[in-house]
Amino acid sequence: MQKKESYYFLQSVPGIGNITITNLLTYFVHVEDILSAPEAELKNILKPNQLNMFLERREREKYKEELKDILRAGYQYISIEDREYPKRLLNIPDPPYGLFLKGELPP
């Protein structure tokens, strides 16, 4: 669940979008490492406002409970690394790092 939580966390931080997530992944390589990264390293990639929102959200850890609530409500969260992630989306420019889904994906 840690990878999925990490992607959800990144997508839930206000001011952080796909481009910033891509930059973070380029720097840290593994999505899980981003969540535990020291502030000094995050400053290399994030703008001051993004950094403040990231640190505040990480400290409160509310995102873990939010994701659990989403899953309990019958939704799925599929990260770009999950095998269920639609292959066709991988071929578009700037694919989303995570999808929320209620129901089934088309074949």
- Taking 70 as the threshold, does the pLDDT of residue 1 lie above it? no
Task: Report residue 96: phi and psi, to 5°.
Answer: -65, 145
User: pLDDT digit string (tens) for 7-56?
Assistant: 999 999 999 999 999 999 999 999 999 999 999 999 999 999 999 999 99
> Residues 87-97: what's their mean pLDDT?
94
What is the C-alpha to C-alpha distance for residues 21 and 75, in angstroms, rounded to an integer? 23
Each residue of 61-80: b (16+ CB within 10 Å) or e?
eebeeebeeeeeeeeebbbb
State the pTM of this model. Answer: 0.91
pLDDT of residue 104: 85
Pick the more confident residue, 47 or 2. 47
